[in-house]
Amino acid sequence: MEWRNPRFNASGTIDVELLVPDLGWLPFTASPDDPEDYGRAIFNDLKDKAAPFVPEDQAAE
């Protein structure tokens, strides 16, 4: 599976874009508590690669 731009969000989950055949790049939020195995697997694969969360008020600085 191809992915790009993984980053933690304020909830502690990971926002990422996944390349889905026939659909292209789609936004996805991966969670360690996802009810689906693939959601938990994606979170575990990305947790050490994702950019840290930056609050919106600090992102502009």
Domain count for the chain: 1
DSSP string, the chain: --EEEEEE-TTS-EEEEEEETTTEEEEEEE-TT-SSHHHHHHHHHHTTTSBPP--HHHHT-
Which pLDDT value is given to residue 58? 73
- Closest residue by Cα to residue 46 from 2, 11, 14, 1: 14
Which pLDDT value is given to residue 26? 98
Q: How many Cα atoms are found within 13 Å in the side-chain-facing hemisphere of 33?
A: 3
pTM: 0.88
In-domain check, residue 14? yes
Which pLDDT value is given to residue 45? 97
In-domain check, residue 60? no
Mean pLDDT, contiguous 10-residue spans, the chain (61 residues): 96 98 98 97 98 83 57
In-domain check, residue 61? no
In-domain check, residue 8? yes
